Structure 1
């Protein structure tokens, strides 16, 4: 009976969300790329402003030798900066070793050219905070750079943020991988897959145990995020280079008005997504380079029961003028997206690598549920990808059986002006459900030089193909 009530409430919530969407969202999802709406959203996302005050970490005892732990120096400089109304905390030329850095209101952590922040590999240097792991909230090791419920914060400058993730540090905690890459893990060593780690966290979430009672950290093996503004507003991450992340790299969590501009990410560890906006609104990702071990951009909205309880839709995500190199996908939604995702824009991007799997990817299943409403891609230049230009599945499988009773909804996918030298296996791979067809896919002005097969499509309703070609052969709509 309790399960039945839960399912009824879930479907009621989906109905309400869709009803509100129909009333409040004026985008015509089918017939054109909504450039004016995208510009309007971008114009509303304004960079935070800071006072001219400067606080050099050298004046607080930091040592530029790459060996002396400078956690307290960062802390003191940030506290004084915020207390005095904000400004820049300066990290000068040199290598600075530190544990977790916690940003406060009105603080811009600024790395000068030649500066490198090297993050400790000792888990004890990361205090327990409220954070998230794969779409589930918990008390765990602090992200390397963290802000909780702060306003007007930034990380800027031409320096390097080095998480020191490698096959000796952090990455082996992933455990055995389906890809066969061990990342330093050996059978018998502890990992996140042990029953008291991720499986235990999933169980606590399903039972709705309060977050403050989901305590992990020491003795557990759930890796910290790299940069996580949690519940923040007006966030800027600009120009820095980020390397060797333990886990997800930039993770705006429950945040609003976030700009990621000119960032260069080089990190090929497990779950090294480049940027994961989750339960977040108005996020602009521009002029950046993603060379990652997992998805370049992975848009999230909570996992399973947790996402449905929290119920914050991730919406208004703009990815423009970016370059994607290695990764499982260029712009990806899911798989943790149970609260729903709306209005994702990919514009003027370049994607090319033999190790890039897909250009646009959506992934969910009947355990995740959730919805995706509105994915718009235009002016995308593709050198080569392994699998598909557009890849959608409602049968995504990870960590065993992913079947449930929460039927996902996916609709309104629009791709225009896409050129590809090699699209891999398919132009479109789309696998819907009999009781929940993928609705309204439009391809316009698609030109592909090489692909193994045009389509692999199942349970798709209202597919439109306009002025699109493969090797100068007109792309014909398949029989579904």
Structure 2
């Protein structure tokens, strides 16, 4: 079949299309498929804790939303940890905390129904600095609001609310002011400056994330609601065995991503609600030279039964993915909002690089998205360099959508095209414009319907 005939059969009015030179099923020898998911799930086991409680009221906490509960909470966590573990209980009430919560091994921080913990918005309360990642670059910066470093068997559970209280009167204003500091941190990463010397703080403009377990094992975040984060909400970094279940993240500030597994493996995200100012779920693995230095991929990520409302993307990979991402499985999700831009999105560029492979997306109901249902962009942002990103072995199946600008928008590199993408048994209705495909080879459409017309090659 010659190239013009293929275009007529696809019926997508493609522009600047790299020819689909051959057809093959997405995948390769050794590539993980849905058949491998049970083995991954068998390794993802939520931690358990001794049956004993340590209420913060026993250590002097007062629920008047004025008295700082940090001394009491710190004391309860220390006693619980020293006793061999258990549950640190925050009872019903409105609480105020002037600084971060630092979790320790074998501690389950439990937020009772009707409990709200309101965090200080004073940056100096989050000193001293800790080792963290800011948008994929390791730095010494303000502590995340809830943080754990090199701990194991930790949890945040319950049905109450953690309120970051970020707004355009405090944390969110930093998104405009921080650019020179962010560029400096990234340059330090390029120059391989020791992380201990990359020191930022209360005047730096590098906003802390809400929850960041860092180099932790056996992590559970379940049931609670997080509102109005300074930046990203949930950001496990360099972690293994992570469960995020029945959590809500609600916030429409700049960079208010919902859940960002970063260089982490064996991660389950299920039953969650995301209503965010940026990507709902964004899988990452470090940025640029610093991400390549650490060199740890995100892998074996399972996403299921989640609801995505507002956000830049429902399930996203990148853009900080220099350490690679592989084996991502997303299924049985619902996505719908005029303020949700895309359902599945992969993004990088030739400065950030990275390999994305074995991505599987199925049984997803999309109501409305404002851009393409399925978007791959390897020209993200304005950076260009010698690190060509690789995207290969992607399957999308049993997806329906009711309204979008496009069904697909793939923008790959001619030098290293996106490869082996299979879309099968999908229906896209209410599509306003033709799909755009450049820099892609081995695209297979099987039983795909766009605006009532079959598209197959």
TM-score range, shorter chain: over 0.9
Matched with 2:56 is 57
Matched with 2:117 is 117
C-alpha distance in 1 between matches for 2:145 and 2:283 = 21
Matched with 2:316 is 332
**Are residues 1:211 and 2:199 paired?**
no
TM-score by length of 2: 0.92
Matches within 5 A, 1:422-461: 422=403, 424-461=404-441
Note the residue ranges of structure 1 that are not aligned, 5 or more in a row. Answer: 1-20, 28-33, 176-190
Matches within 5 A, 1:212-227: 212-227=196-211
Matches within 5 A, 1:400-415: 401-415=382-396
Q: Secondary structure at the match of 1:283?
A: strand
**Are residues 1:470 and 2:442 paired?**
no
Note the residue ranges of structure 2 that are not aligned, 5 or more in a row. Answer: 1-26
1:376 to 332, 345, 360: 360
Matched with 1:173 is 174
Say how many residue pairs are matched.
Answer: 429
CA shift, 1:122, in A, is: 1.1
C-alpha distance in 2 between matches for 1:388 and 1:340 = 24
Matched with 1:392 is 376
CA shift, 1:26, in A, is: 4.3
Q: Secondary structure at the match of 1:416?
A: strand
C-alpha distance in 2 between matches for 1:263 and 1:256 = 19
**Any idea what the Cα deviations from partners look like across 1:16-52, whole Å, max 9, x if unmatched?**
xxxxx978x443xxxxxx3321222112100101001
Given that 2:329 and 2:359 are in contact with CA atoms closer than 8 Å, whether structure 1 keeps it comes out as yes
Matched with 2:138 is 137
Matched with 1:161 is 162
C-alpha distance in 2 between matches for 1:345 and 1:83 = 38
Q: Secondary structure at the match of 1:358?
A: coil
CA shift, 1:472, in A, is: 2.4
CA RMSD for the aligned pairs? Answer: 1.2
Q: Secondary structure at the match of 2:66?
A: strand
Q: Secondary structure at the match of 2:118?
A: strand
Given that 2:334 and 2:364 are in contact with CA atoms closer than 8 Å, whether structure 1 keeps it comes out as yes
Matches within 5 A, 1:353-368: 353-368=337-352
C-alpha distance in 2 between matches for 1:215 and 1:107 = 29
Alpha carbons of 1:376 and 1:454: their partners in 2 closer, same or farther (altered >3 Å)? farther
Q: Secondary structure at the match of 1:109?
A: strand
Given that 2:392 and 2:418 are in contact with CA atoms closer than 8 Å, whether structure 1 keeps it comes out as yes
CA shift, 1:475, in A, is: 1.7
C-alpha distance in 2 between matches for 1:220 and 1:369 = 27
Matches within 5 A, 1:249-268: 249-268=233-252
C-alpha distance in 2 between matches for 1:464 and 1:40 = 28
Matched with 2:107 is 107
CA shift, 1:70, in A, is: 1.2
Alpha carbons of 1:392 and 1:118: their partners in 2 closer, same or farther (altered >3 Å)? same
C-alpha distance in 2 between matches for 1:220 and 1:467 = 52
Q: Secondary structure at the match of 2:352?
A: coil
TM-score by length of 1: 0.88
CA shift, 1:124, in A, is: 1.6
Q: Secondary structure at the match of 1:67?
A: coil
Matches within 5 A, 1:254-293: 254-293=238-277
CA shift, 1:82, in A, is: 0.5
CA shift, 1:273, in A, is: 0.3
**Any idea what the Cα deviations from partners look like across 1:314-347, whole Å, max 9, x if unmatched?**
1011110000000000000111000100011110
Given that 2:28 and 2:393 are in contact with CA atoms closer than 8 Å, whether structure 1 keeps it comes out as no
Given that 2:250 and 2:274 are in contact with CA atoms closer than 8 Å, whether structure 1 keeps it comes out as yes
Q: Secondary structure at the match of 1:410?
A: strand
C-alpha distance in 1 between matches for 2:317 and 2:203 = 32
C-alpha distance in 2 between matches for 1:105 and 1:387 = 43
